[in-house]
Homo-oligomer: A and B are copies of this chain.
Amino acid sequence: MTGTGVGQEERLARAALTRLTEPGDETVGRWLRELGPVRLLRALTGQEPPPRGARAERLAGYRVRAATLDPAGDLAAVARLGGRFICPGEAEWPGQLDDLEDARPLGLWARGSANVRMWALRSVAVVGARACSDYGSHVAALLGAGLAERGWVVVSGAAYGVDGAAHRGALAADGATVAVLACGVDVPYPRGHTELLGRIAEQGLILAELPPGGHPTRSRFVLRNRVIAALTRGTVVVEAEYRSGSLVTARRARELNRYTMGVPGPVTSGLSAGVHELLREGAHPVGDADEVIELVGAMGEFAPRSRGPVVARDLLDSLAAAVLEAVPGRGGDTECVARNAGVDRDRTLAKLYELQALGFVRRQGEQWRVTDPPSTSGTPKPPGRRPAMRRGGP
């Protein structure tokens, strides 16, 4: 998988813009479309005439922040964490974020060894109430584990409650999980999830639109949700009160033609009221990972078929090739593959999920197996854009 490269000047400009502007600002998105990142940065920092129609207060704000810009420093900071900054058009850019149009992230700050694009292909968001019930955290953990065991990547927001339970369920099942934060990838928020975030950075991925050190605000939480919705094939809301932020994520997923799903709960529980509202709006009721996958796994075009690889084997990077080589003929668990490959467990896991997204291997329970080769010789075909999805499924 090679992608269009992005020049260093554009990379620096996009990194700077993530510090200068707010995530999801569609006006900025429109300017970016008109001017490109390099000229937009100059226009917002006073080195060029301002964008057409830009209001004075807005520009004044940008000028103030401009003094603090140090994109090279930010890139170095994320690199020290073993991370990177991924720009649209690059090989690792998850193309489904393009559905956000002018609200598309300017770039993604990432920690973790997995390929963001590959992981996003087979991913589901599991979100819900921070102050969830025992029922909510129980179901979220089961969903996280169940999705992981079936080879799906669990995406959530790392918040207390449902989010944390979903991440933990996936981690405990030796699975792949992605935390999309409303702050910098180096900011341990919420505080009580410092250790969890550390585990996710090792075994999974941490993504953010904000540069290192960026702090969460109320509006950033809300806007973060659109990234979770866009990145995944569908969003499951486990528990949510009326007016909960999780409902925003689910409704955004629906607008983006992703599947929206809700876990029913007792009608006597206010923590399920928002979910039931969602169900009345047409979301699919789901109770376990099988039911989720039955929905989101149905599309042919978006996901590589589970029957065989969609790219030629010689296009794999050397680590992926080594991991694939290390999967025993009769199958083996992650530990066993890691040992065979002589690669550490977390990086092995990252590659295994990438290989699964590409159709080379398949996870069933604890076991990884090499997929049977397809009957045709299989023209390499990169995963494309998914077709419009509606309730009832394609």
Contacts and interface: CB of A to CB of B under 8 A. Distances in A.
B267 A288 contact: yes
A47 to B, nearest CB: 55
A139 B268 contact: yes
A264 B279 contact: yes
A45 interface: no
How many protomers of this protein does the assembly include?
2
Interface of A is mostly: mixed
A268 B287 CA distance: 8
27 contacts: A135-B268, A138-B268, A139-B268, A263-B267, A264-B264, A264-B265, A264-B266, A264-B267, A264-B276, A264-B279, A264-B285, A265-B265, A265-B266, A265-B267, A266-B266, A267-B286, A267-B287, A267-B288, A268-B287, A273-B287, A276-B285, A276-B287, A279-B279, A279-B285, A280-B285, A280-B291, A285-B285
Nearest to A264: B264
A285 to B, nearest CB: 4
A153 to B, nearest CB: 22
Interface in A277-291: 279-280, 284-288, 291
A280 B276 contact: no
A272 interface: yes
A205 to B, nearest CB: 28
10 pairs of A and B residues whose beta carbons are closest in the complex? A267-B287, A264-B264, A279-B285, A276-B285, A263-B267, A280-B285, A264-B276, A135-B266, A265-B266, A276-B287
Contact of A280 (B139, B265, B266, B284): B284
Contacts of A286: 267
Nearest to A273: B287
Contacts of A291: 280
A287 B279 CA distance: 12
A222 B162 CA distance: 41
Counting chain A residues whose Cβ lies within 8 A of the other chain, the interface size class is 20 to 34
Contacts of A265: 264-267
A298 to B, nearest CB: 14
Nearest to A263: B267
Q: Which of A135, A264, A286 has the most CB of B within 10 A?
A: A264
A288 B272 CA distance: 13
A288 to B, nearest CB: 7
Q: Which of A265, A267, A286 has the most CB of B within 10 A?
A: A267
Interface in A223-274: 263-268, 272-273
Given A139-B268, A279-B285, A280-B284, 4 more contacts: A264-B272, A267-B288, A280-B285, A280-B291
Nearest to A269: B266
Nearest to A265: B266
Contacts of A267: 139, 263-265, 286-288
Contacts of A266: 135, 264-266
Contacts of A276: 264, 285, 287
Interface string A111-153: 0000000000000000000000001001100000000000000
A272 B268 CA distance: 14
Interface string A44-69: 00000000000000000000000000
Nearest to A143: B267
Nearest to A391: B282
Contacts of A273: 287
Nearest to A278: B285
Q: Which of A135, A280, A286 has the most CB of B within 10 A?
A: A280
Contacts of A280: 284-285, 291
A181 B284 CA distance: 35
A276 B264 CA distance: 8
